[in-house]
Amino acid sequence: MRYAETGFNLEIDLTRGNIEKVATDPRDTELYLGGLGTNTKILWDRVPPEVEPFSPENLLIFGAGLLCGTPATGCNRTIVSTISPQTGLMVFSMMGGFWAPELKYAGYDKVVLRGKSPNLVYLLIHNDKVELRDASHLKGKGSIETAELIKKELNEPKAQIAAIGLAGENRVFYASIEQGRSSASRGGIGAVMGDKGVKAIVVRGTKDLNVAKPEEFIGLCNEVLEYIKVREDNPIPGVMPILAGLGSPQEMKVHDEKWHTENFMWGNSRTRRRDFWNDEIANDWTETMENARTRLISCFNCPMKCGATISMPGLPTYMMKCFTKLTYTMGAFSDLDFGLRIAQKATEYGLDGFSAPQVMAFALELLEDGILTDKDFPEMPADSEGRFYYLLEKIVRREGIGDILADGTYWAAQKIGKGADVYAHNNIKKIEQLPLKLSMLNPIYFLMYSTGEKMNITQIEGQFPQAPFPKREHREKFVEDWIQVPDEKFKQYFLDWEIRGENSMPNYPTVEMTCDIVDWQEKMHYIDDALGQCAGLSSFPLKPPYHIHNYPKFISAGAGIEMDEEKLTQAAKRYRTLLRAFNNRRGMRRSDEKPPEDHWKKRFPELEEKLLDEYYKMKGWNDQGIPTVESLHELGLDYVSKDLLERGILTNSEAASSKEASAEKEKN
Amino acid sequence: MNVEKKTKIIKTINIDVDKCNGCRACEVICSSVHALPKYSSNNPARSRIRIIRDPLRDIYVPVLAGEYTVAECAGRDKYIIDGKEYDECSFCRASCPSREEFKEPDSGLPLKCDMCENEEGGPMCVKWCLAEALVYEEREVEVEEEDGPEELEIGLEALISKYGIQSLVDSVARMTKKS
């Protein structure tokens, strides 16, 4: 019997319309856990590097995390993995909401889509009944609209639906997959879904999901709930309100507009408006938000209220979370009313709320500087808001200039030429980033930005405070109940971290400490992504309820896999390394691992090289950021090194030298 | 007839629909605590509490399973509250032929909330509702209870008026003989 997971995947061949229920190997669960881990294994096994994002051979995997559907609070994430049209690398965008638990209750851990459907279809999963259904009547419909129509036509108000809008259908490189209050937005996975001819995946499940050690498991869940209550009653002093509690940054609950509008960049991530905020704006925007927000809402089995239902007068209701609240507003130099209005349309079209406004601002900057001309924008309105609406329509329809802009700033700049690439300045590995421009290099963030393969800083950072606390007594207070640290040394790192002087950035935390901190932060995110746990209760906030000390217990009691901290750390390292090797196989190298050039004003090239060198070493990667034969061997990934050697990505001399090294080790 | 005052415990879950965040933790823990063995599995489709939920219309109604009823109501109700139109039977607690709620998914057998009478500290759904949409309350009330076999007498009187006392006596005598 399998626990926490169902032990079955659905394999859908869209080309032939073939559907199979496939039993999975429990040994893979032990090695790669689930969710991201097993998604990565499937991609490695079945998608060779020659496969293009829009090839029928590309897979689109919807993986429910290992503990999704169990009573573990906040464990509800669907990890969607495929080859991104934007980066050409593996992308693993995720969504919370209600979809993954429903899939488990229907009796499956993953849905693996391959091939391409000749006509637009939707996939219906209702327990043992699984079928592809015609979706021609849904063509061009909005993502939320589609979900509502399907629920009606099936008379299944409790079905959970992940759908794409027009952007996905037209393969916009930053198209999202929308699921009511949640979306998997980054990396253009919606475009791959559209390319495969799948409008939606509808799930309804009414089966039991088992846990291995019932009393123990519920005991752990109760501890987490108790901790959440205490932690919510005791926000962390000295950090900004959206980060003081648990959950995703509380953008819907807290009025943080002043902070973001004055500290983040406007337009094409260029302009900082330090004196933007005043009483009049405060009144206006507060009123806009209060009137628009009907209710704060949650994902499946989670007490945090990170999302909200938004109803703007005259527009259909939609749901929002996080920072999309301000991305359109700031991209267009407009106000909150505009931002919430255009976001409604963009959500129906199914677009990534980070990339889309940046692409629009980028286009308008090119026009301003004469690289694009009025001819490229026939009949475009003169006002900024009107222009954003105009561009939105062009992009999702791939009309005129919209066809080029639909590929994102990096690829659009390549097509436009004439120096347009300088304007695509806020990318990492070809993906648009948060509009942040700061003064002095932060070594921790440098490494996270450079080496992250999650492509969104909020999905990489966490656990360790973003900045030092000014007073030592304040720091001492902070570390007192810091039970989440994997090692006591992290407390010392933080205690000695000063705003100014010898122990301040960029030289403190030292290279070694920085590597430790980044590795811890990354590890926790990767564990979350395999278990399906939302980062908002785990890897993202300070002092979260889930951590390296209680996770092994959750896995043992939930999935029935004997687990301890070491084994869990090793498993996370295994699929993290496999993911890296997968992307190396697709061409990713050290030269791709850098933050936007203008992210910090003050840079330290020598230090940065050293950081990368040491971090790579710590991770068991060579100086190109490719896992070494030795480190692959330690993780039981010899099949990976064999492949990398055959392809010449790793060379035999490296293999030989690492063999010598391991022989040396054994001697000692 | 003797009239006696007795105390009775009334168990109530106060439901604040405005506080519900729609997370369905109540459904998860309810189905888990009622699983056999306890907590060994969960399945919201077996839960004895359901959230009638339609986020786009801002409708969130936690409903606890009440009595099983063999027949549908003669008519249905539909509420409009603060301009929000609730679906038919949204507030009804019955396990009833007209809808899917409160039936075991496999057997179709009715489910009924037992207020977690075997659990210390009251209903688990309340314990797991950190949004405080569900709040448990116990109160003692004094009820007047009349002594004596009241129900039996009412039944007998009805039979006597229908069949006559002699026919009833004969029937009882015959049945006594048989057993």
**Nearest-neighbour CA in chain A from B35: distance (Å):** 9
CATH topology of domain A8-204: Aldehyde Ferredoxin Oxidoreductase;  A, domain 1 (3.60.9)
What pLDDT score was predicted for residue A241? Answer: 83
Confidence of residue A652 (pLDDT cuts 50, 70, 90): confident
**Nearest-neighbour CA in chain A from B24: distance (Å):** 5
A298 interfaces chain B, CB cutoff of 8 Å: yes
Across the interface, which of A180, A217, A303 has its CB nearest the CB of B55?
A180
Contact flag A209-B29 (C-beta cutoff 8 Å): no
Type of residue at A501? G
The rounded distance, in Å, linking the Cα atoms of A530 and A552 is 13
Which residues are A201's β-sheet partners? A123, A162
CA of A206: which chain B residue's CA is closest? B45
Contact flag A303-B130 (C-beta cutoff 8 Å): yes
Per CB-CB distance under 8 Å, the chain B contacts of A545 are: none
What pLDDT score was predicted for residue A289? Answer: 94
CA of B45: which chain A residue's CA is closest? A206
A479 interfaces chain B, CB cutoff of 8 Å: no
List pLDDT tens digits, range A419-477.
Answer: 999 999 999 999 999 999 999 999 999 999 999 998 888 888 999 999 999 999 999 99
The residue among A228, A229, A301 with the most chain B CBs within 10 A of its CB, best to mutate, is: A301
Query: What's the complex ipTM?
Result: 0.94
List pLDDT tens digits, range A334-354.
Answer: 999 999 999 999 999 999 999
CA of B55: which chain A residue's CA is closest? A309
What are the phi and psi torsion angles at A184 (to 5°)? -100, 105
Q: Which tokens sit at A642?
A: 């064999």
What are the phi and psi torsion angles at A151 (to 5°)? -60, -40
The rounded distance, in Å, linking the Cα atoms of A605 and A608 is 5
Question: Cα-Cα-Cα-Cα dihedral of A525, A528, A529, A530, to 10°?
Answer: 130
Tell whether the model's pLDDT for residue A668 goes beyond 50.
no
What are the phi and psi torsion angles at B44 (to 5°)? -55, -25
Per CB-CB distance under 8 Å, the chain A contacts of B21 are: 295-298, 303, 305
Among residues 143-182 of chain A, which lie with CB inside 8 Å of chain B? 144, 148, 157, 180-181
CA of A222: which chain B residue's CA is closest? B128
When the pLDDT of each residue in chain B is averaged and rounded to a whole number, the result is 91
Per CB-CB distance under 8 Å, the chain B contacts of A215 are: 38-39
Mean pLDDT for A554-558 is 98
DSSP A188-231: SHHHHHHHTTEEEEEEE----EE-SSHHHHHHHHHHHHHHHHHH
Q: Is B119 helix (H, G, I), strand (E, B) or coil?
A: coil
Q: Which tokens sit at A368?
A: 């301003």
Contact flag A207-B38 (C-beta cutoff 8 Å): no
Confidence of residue A660 (pLDDT cuts 50, 70, 90): low
The residue among B43, B86, B119 with the most chain A CBs within 10 A of its CB, best to mutate, is: B43
List pLDDT tens digits, range B113-161.
Answer: 999 999 988 999 999 999 999 999 999 998 887 666 677 888 888 899 8
Q: How far apart are the first and last CA of chain B?
A: 32
The rounded distance, in Å, linking the Cα atoms of B87 and A197 is 34
What pLDDT score was predicted for residue A510? Answer: 98
Q: What is the 3-state secondary structure (H, E, C) of A417-465?
A: CCCHHHHCCCEECCEECCCCCEEECCHHHHHHHHHCCCCCHHHCCCCCC
Structural domain boundaries in chain A: 8-204, 245-430, 441-627
**Nearest-neighbour CA in chain A from B176: distance (Å):** 50
**Nearest-neighbour CA in chain B from A467: distance (Å):** 31
CA of A228: which chain B residue's CA is closest? B130
CATH number belonging to the domain at A245-430, selected among 1.10.760.10, 1.10.569.10, 1.10.287.950, 3.40.718.10: 1.10.569.10
**Nearest-neighbour CA in chain A from B138: distance (Å):** 23
Residue linked to tokens 């399998």: A2
Contact flag B38-A180 (C-beta cutoff 8 Å): no
Residue linked to tokens 């509702």: B129
Contact flag B105-A206 (C-beta cutoff 8 Å): yes
Contacts of A598 (CB under 8 A, 6+ apart): A425, A426, A437
List pLDDT tens digits, range B86-95.
Answer: 999 999 999 9
CATH topology of domain A441-627: 1.10.599
The rounded distance, in Å, linking the Cα atoms of A110 and A104 is 9
Across the interface, which of A69, A71, A298 has its CB nearest the CB of B29?
A71
**Nearest-neighbour CA in chain A from B25: distance (Å):** 4
When the pLDDT of each residue in chain A is averaged and rounded to a whole number, the result is 95
Contacts A–B by Cβ distance under 8 A: 90
Contact flag B58-A317 (C-beta cutoff 8 Å): yes
The residue among B23, B49, B129 with the most chain A CBs within 10 A of its CB, best to mutate, is: B23
The residue among A126, A297, A309, A317 with the most chain B CBs within 10 A of its CB, best to mutate, is: A297
Mean pLDDT for A257-264 is 92
Contacts of B8 (CB under 8 A, 6+ apart): B140, B141, B142, B143
Across the interface, which of A215, A299, A301 has its CB nearest the CB of B28?
A301
What pLDDT score was predicted for residue A657? Answer: 56
The residue among A67, A148, A213, A218 with the most chain B CBs within 10 A of its CB, best to mutate, is: A218
What pLDDT score was predicted for residue A256? Answer: 83
A467 interfaces chain B, CB cutoff of 8 Å: no
**Nearest-neighbour CA in chain A from B170: distance (Å):** 55
The residue among B16, B26, B27, B32 with the most chain A CBs within 10 A of its CB, best to mutate, is: B32
Across the interface, which of B24, B41, B46 has its CB nearest the CB of A301?
B24
Contact flag A214-B39 (C-beta cutoff 8 Å): yes
Inter-CA distances, A90 with A82, A303, A588, A612, B55, Å: 6, 32, 10, 21, 33
What pLDDT score was predicted for residue A462? Answer: 92
Mean pLDDT for A63-67 is 98
The rounded distance, in Å, linking the Cα atoms of A558 and A656 is 42
Contact flag A207-B43 (C-beta cutoff 8 Å): yes
Structural domain boundaries in chain B: 3-144, 149-178
Contact flag B56-A181 (C-beta cutoff 8 Å): no
Across the interface, which of A214, A296, A299 has its CB nearest the CB of B37?
A214
Contacts of A631 (CB under 8 A, 6+ apart): A577, A619, A620, A621
A209 interfaces chain B, CB cutoff of 8 Å: yes
A46 interfaces chain B, CB cutoff of 8 Å: no
What pLDDT score was predicted for residue A661? Answer: 52
CA of A96: which chain B residue's CA is closest? B23
Nearest residue to A14 (alpha-carbon basis) of A114, A136, A125: A114
Per CB-CB distance under 8 Å, the chain B contacts of A318 are: 56
Confidence of residue B1 (pLDDT cuts 50, 70, 90): low
Per CB-CB distance under 8 Å, the chain A contacts of B23 are: 298-303
Quote the pTM value: 0.94
CB A366 within 8 A of CB A375: no
CA of B37: which chain A residue's CA is closest? A214
List pLDDT tens digits, range A83-142.
Answer: 999 999 999 999 999 999 999 999 999 999 999 999 999 999 999 999 999 999 999 999
Nearest residue to A190 (alpha-carbon basis) of A179, A176, A200, A178: A176
List pLDDT tens digits, range A228-240.
Answer: 999 999 999 988 8
Tell whether the model's pLDDT for residue A551 goes beyond 70.
yes
Across the interface, which of B21, B42, B54 has its CB nearest the CB of A71?
B42
Tell whether the model's pLDDT for residue A658 goes beyond 60.
no
Q: Which tokens sit at A262?
A: 């004055």
Mean pLDDT for A598-615 is 97
CA of B101: which chain A residue's CA is closest? A158
What pLDDT score was predicted for residue A656? Answer: 57
What pLDDT score was predicted for residue A665? Answer: 52
The residue among B24, B99, B119 with the most chain A CBs within 10 A of its CB, best to mutate, is: B24
Contact flag A297-B39 (C-beta cutoff 8 Å): no
